[in-house]
Amino acid sequence: MLEQGTVAVVHYVGRLAGDDGSVFDTSDVDVALAEGIYHPNRDYSPIEFRIGDETVRPPIEAAVREMDAGETRTVRLDPEDAFGLRSDDRVVEYPRDALDTDEPPTEGDLVGPESLPADAEETRAVETGWITGVRENTVEIDFNHELAGEPVAFELRLLSVSENE
């Protein structure tokens, strides 16, 4: 069992926990290439965290605490432990002309907080939302995480550990 303060270095593969087990994220470049999710601007490297610092989701830390270097383990996370539950309150409608965008809004576009109206304080802290509807006078933006409501599974490979420093 890893002690509080131990540094763990972990490669991970995140998959949807449903029937197809599609990979949605990984820290391993070889997996990204093999799964067709490689992005050239991304840095693919293992995550490094100190046990007890609460920098990773609690179920992931709990699994890593029980692992030995070189071991691989899969941890399933329910939506509330992963990306949260989907909430209709996080789908917001704005006047179309209130958005500050260079191009006309299109369904599926990402919208950052800098594009939101100044009076949208409740959602301005959110990094991005997806335009889910464009009407004549309004735009609907979904600020739920794209995996909200989805159970996921993380395959964890503990590469190394370093003792308390």
**Which residues neighbour 36 within 8 Å (Cβ) at sequence distance 6 or greater?**
none
Domain assignments of the chain as residue spans, ordered by start: 7-83+147-162, 88-142
Q: Which two tokens stand for residue 146?
A: 């794209």
Per DSSP, the residues of 1-52 read -PPTT-EEEEEEEEEESSSS--EEEES-HHHHHHHT---TTS----EEEETT
Contact 152, 14 (CB under 8 A): yes
| pLDDT tens profile 9-22 | 999 999 999 778 89
Q: At residue 93, does pLDDT exceed 80?
A: yes
142/96 Cα distance (integer angstroms): 15
Average predicted confidence (pLDDT) for the chain? 90
Would you state the pLDDT for residue 126? 56
State the pTM of this model: 0.80
Phi-psi region of 142 (alpha: psi -120 to 50; beta: other; left: phi over 0): beta
At 48 the pLDDT is 96
- Quick: pLDDT tens for 109-158: 888 877 777 666 555 455 788 999 999 999 999 999 999 999 999 999 99
Residue 27, token pair as written in the block: 């820290």
- The backbone torsions φ and ψ at residue 113, rounded to the nearest 5 degrees and listed phi first, read -60, -25
The pLDDT tens digits of the residues spanning 112-122 come to 877 777 666 55
Residue with tokens 């691989």: 72
pLDDT computed for residue 42 by the predictor: 95
Q: What's the CATH code, domain 7-83+147-162?
A: 3.10.50.40
Total residues found in the chain within this entry: 165
**Above 70 in pLDDT, residue 67?**
yes
